[in-house]
Amino acid sequence: MGHDIYTHEMLYPVLQGYDSLVLQSDLTIVGSDQLFNEMLGRFYQERHGQSPQVIITTKITPGIDGKAKQSKSLGNDIGLGHSPREKFGRTMKLPDELITTYLEVYTDVSLAQIADIKAWLPTDPMRAKLFLACEIVKRYHGTEIADQEQAWFLATFSERSVPQDIPEILLSTSELSAFEVVKNFFGPRKSNSAIRRLFEQGAITLNGRKIDRSEERVELSQGDEWRVGKRAWFRVCLH
């Protein structure tokens, strides 16, 4: 109430609905927030003598930050294209109050079992979240992979051990700035400013020692272990 409605907001459902007419759609699957737009599609189809499309809507869920709905552009989603480890890790970021919702929407767990989990969830949310993460990974990658990812997660974050399968970077000199080392790891995947922010946030450690100045010169040794944030490591190899 009291907010302006802009022209593009009125045209959007008209154009989306008209798509259904042009495509002669017989079925459309959309989020529940798109229901009105697709109902316009049925309206146009009926007016032009087509059979109106069947509309299936999916439940809209908040992202793993518990705020806006899941969005790839916001980075708060668990995507089909994510690796098993990324799916597991992202699920573990979920606020406790969304665990049962995600179980209902994104897993094959029965509603009866979800009701049981909901009863004891307040006293053991970590157990429930681990179960959810396993179920999501299992659905797309199988039980064996899900079990492996749970073991990796527990060893890494609960027992605070460094994973054995971390990537290695090859360096030809033993003295560089901390920024140069981390930049060598990320390459073009992360901008210089983003890397510097990681240092400012205290997200970079070398053999367990926090480095908060990107310009700090470090004397490197064979096998040095670097950690970036909570879920990224790499090991230095000198030649």
CATH number at residue 102: 1.10.240.10
Measure the CA–CA gap between 180 and 145, rounded to whole angstroms: 35
Average pLDDT of the segment spanning 206-217: 89
For residues 205 and 187, membership in a common domain is answered with yes
For residues 180 and 134, membership in a common domain is answered with no
Name the least confident of 25-29, 77-81, 190-194: 190-194
For residues 148 and 173, membership in a common domain is answered with no
- Whether 193 maps to a domain, the answer reads yes
- Whether 118 maps to a domain, the answer reads yes
pTM: 0.64
Choose between 107 and 72: higher pLDDT: 107
Q: Which of 112, 114, 108, 117 is nearest to 139 (CA)?
A: 108
Print the domain residue range for 101: 84-158
Whether residue 142 is predicted with pLDDT greater than 60 in this model: the reply is yes
Average pLDDT of the segment spanning 201-209: 88
Domain end point (choices 131, 158, 185): 158
Domain end point (choices 158, 187, 204): 158
| pLDDT more than 70, % of the chain | 97
For residues 103 and 41, membership in a common domain is answered with no
For residues 181 and 228, membership in a common domain is answered with yes
Strands 204-206 and 225-228: antiparallel
- Whether 34 maps to a domain, the answer reads yes
What is the per-residue pLDDT for 109? 96
What is the per-residue pLDDT for 158? 65
Q: What is the pLDDT of residues 3-56, one digit of tens each?
A: 888 888 889 999 999 999 999 999 999 989 899 999 999 999 999 999 999 999
Domain end point (choices 110, 135, 158): 158
Q: Which of 203, 195, 200, 204 is nearest to 224 (CA)?
A: 204
For residues 90 and 153, membership in a common domain is answered with yes
For residues 33 and 54, membership in a common domain is answered with yes
- Give the CATH number, domain containing residue 234: 3.10.290.10
Angle ∠(53,20,56) on CA atoms, nearest 5: 45
Q: Which of 204, 193, 197, 196 is nearest to 229 (CA)?
A: 204
- Whether 65 maps to a domain, the answer reads no
What is the per-residue pLDDT for 53? 97
**pLDDT band for position 159 (cuts 50, 70, 90):** low
CB hemisphere CA count around 121 (13 angstroms): 20
Q: What is the pLDDT of residues 96-130, one digit of tens each?
A: 999 999 999 999 999 999 999 999 999 999 999 99
Amino acid residing at 215: E
Choose between 70 and 145: higher pLDDT: 145
For residues 88 and 129, membership in a common domain is answered with yes
Q: What is the mean pLDDT of the chain?
A: 90
- Whether 194 maps to a domain, the answer reads yes
| pLDDT more than 90, % of the chain | 58
Report how many domains make up the chain.
Answer: 3
Average pLDDT of the segment spanning 87-103: 95
For residues 211 and 182, membership in a common domain is answered with yes
What is the per-residue pLDDT for 128? 96
Give one word for 8, left, alpha or beta, with left for phi > 0 and alpha for psi -120 to 50. alpha
For residues 184 and 150, membership in a common domain is answered with no
- Whether 180 maps to a domain, the answer reads yes
For residues 206 and 174, membership in a common domain is answered with yes
3-class state of residue 97 by DSSP: helix
